Amino acid sequence: MIWNEKMECMAPENLKNILSERLKNVAAYVYNHCPLYKSKFDAIGVNPGDVKTIDDITKLPFTTKIDMRDSYPFGLFSAPDKITEIHVSSGTTGNPTVVGYTKDDIKLWGESMARAFCCAGAEPRDRIQISYGYGLFTGGLGMHYGAMEMGLTIIPCSSGQTKRQLKLMQDFKPRILACTPSYALYMADEAREIGIDPRTSSWEIGVFGAEPWSEAMRTQIQETWNMRAGDVYGLSEIIGPGVAMDCQYQDGLHVWWDTFYPEIINPETGKPVKAGEPGELVITTLTKQGIPLIRYRTRDVVSINYETCRCGRTCPRISKIKGRTDDMIIVRGINVFPSQIEHVLLGIDGTQPHYQLIIDRPQGKMDEVEIQVEVDEKMFSDEMKHLRSLEEKIKKEISAVLSIGVKVTLVEPKTLARSEGKAKRVIDKRTL
């Protein structure tokens, strides 16, 4: 079924008026309610009144992750007094990224995820096992609100305790599983270990996202679990999960453009790319109240397809993420920036040791992060207990900042690869 057939299938020429109206409103709204946006508009000499149609969006200023960091915590909020919920994800350095939702924003989130669930093939009264983490991370609760909106029966497992999750799956027989794709594969290994054949599971539909994954991985999950593996896209700055979702044709992810209006730009010039060409995805939230964002640069590289889909939806489809325009990496659903690691190391002994981040996805396992740190003379101690406690301290602090467990390995000086004098900070060994 299609959750909101009117908006998801409206002819683009008819939708245009709605988009234009909404853009006018949001531009005026942020200009009048958020001083930071007023100064951003003023700085480039644009007035909300200059927006006549949706095509005028290119006149408006971009919003970046740096803006979010610099305005920490609430500087980008337009309705700081009406927030009912706050979520936090990692920022580049120091300050995390904070987003706030009004009651209406939560409703919008629920509707977005309800559209996504339907797009994935869910029917009202289906049971859903939500195995994304609940908490400050948007994954768990976003899925939860969508499932509530749609009238699914929710099993709010959150992440972890895999054997228990498998038991609940066997006992409650949910039709839908929502988690990260790597967790789905990890669970298959655990299932076999306790004598469950994954192909006999009750799950028929997966709603997988929050980390990069490939078509090959999709095929593997579909074959392993005998289910359809749907791809969901989202980011907390925009709303969380539920910005886009692919349908049964698995040919791109439908973006709910009546609320999250997408543009694809050349990240260097900021100008739109030709239709179908890859570029940076930029999203404007047309109806959000708490922290509406104008032309938010997601740093995700995708291409977009405006053709009407065979499923009947007219909302455009973005490709799977083809890359990033910054050095962010996503591990187990968590955003990781090398700069965060630098920050921690700098704080530990005041020097800036060379380090390398190694990300691996061992067969059937969750992603692993190893941080190799070159021991310099200042850090080096003759006593093992000092070295071990240094290793432990780095591990603890980085794990706390990233909110995922990491392995820390001390290595000899000048052993980490440097290319043209510049250190290679990240080695991503994952075959996605």
Partner 1 sequence: MKITQISVFLENKRGRLYRLCDLLGRNKINIHALNIAESEGFGVARIVVDRPKAAMKVLKDADLAANLTDIVAVEVEDRPGGLADILKVIYDNEVNVEYMYGFGEKFSDRAMMIFRFEDTDHATQVLMQHGIKIIQGDDIQDE
Given the rule CB under 8 A, which residues bind partner 1? 375-377, 379-384, 387-388, 391, 409-415
DSSP 322-348: -EESSS-EEETTEEE-HHHHHHHHHHH
Taking the least distance from each CB to partner 1, the nearer of 415 and 431 is 415
Taking the least distance from each CB to partner 1, the nearer of 10 and 410 is 410
Shortest Å distance, C-beta 404 to partner 1: 20
Taking the least distance from each CB to partner 1, the nearer of 43 and 384 is 384
| Residue the block writes with tokens 């325009």 | 325
Taking the least distance from each CB to partner 1, the nearer of 221 and 416 is 416
Shortest Å distance, C-beta 396 to partner 1: 16
Residue 169 · residue 348 · CB < 8 Å: no
Shortest Å distance, C-beta 369 to partner 1: 15
CB atoms within 10 A of CB 158: 18
Whole-number Å distance between alpha carbons of 86 and 36? 20
Q: Tokens at residue 213, please? A: 């994954």
Q: Tokens at residue 14, please? A: 């008819």
Taking the least distance from each CB to partner 1, the nearer of 38 and 407 is 407
Taking the least distance from each CB to partner 1, the nearer of 343 and 395 is 395
Residue 410 phi/psi, 5-degree rounding, is -85, 130
Shortest Å distance, C-beta 352 to partner 1: 15
Closest CA to 74 of 32, 26, 36: 36
Residue 11 phi/psi, 5-degree rounding, is -60, 130
Strand partners, 262: 283
Listed in sequence order, the residues at least 6 apart from 188 whose beta carbon sits closer than 8 Å to its beta carbon are 198, 224, 225, 364
Q: Is the peptide bond before 73 cis (omega within 30 degrees of 0)?
A: yes
> Side-chain half-sphere of 337: how many Cα atoms within 13 Å?
19
Shortest Å distance, C-beta 385 to partner 1: 9
Task: Report the amino acid identity of residue 47.
Answer: N
Shortest Å distance, C-beta 403 to partner 1: 24
Shortest Å distance, C-beta 379 to partner 1: 8
Taking the least distance from each CB to partner 1, the nearer of 306 and 380 is 380
Shortest Å distance, C-beta 368 to partner 1: 15
Shortest Å distance, C-beta 354 to partner 1: 11
Shortest Å distance, C-beta 408 to partner 1: 9
Collapse the DSSP code of 210 into the 3-class scheme (helix H, G, I; strand E, B; otherwise coil) and give the result: coil
Taking the least distance from each CB to partner 1, the nearer of 389 and 431 is 389
Shortest Å distance, C-beta 381 to partner 1: 8
Taking the least distance from each CB to partner 1, the nearer of 81 and 382 is 382
Taking the least distance from each CB to partner 1, the nearer of 239 and 379 is 379
| Residue the block writes with tokens 């890359």 | 323
Residue 23 · residue 46 · CB < 8 Å: no
Taking the least distance from each CB to partner 1, the nearer of 302 and 373 is 373
Whole-number Å distance between alpha carbons of 26 and 49? 11
Strand partners, 86: 100
Closest CA to 155 of 128, 173, 181, 185: 128
Alpha-carbon dihedral of residues 161, 166, 167, 169, nearest 10 degrees?
A: 120
Strand partners, 336: 329
Alpha-carbon dihedral of residues 187, 189, 192, 196, nearest 10 degrees?
A: 10
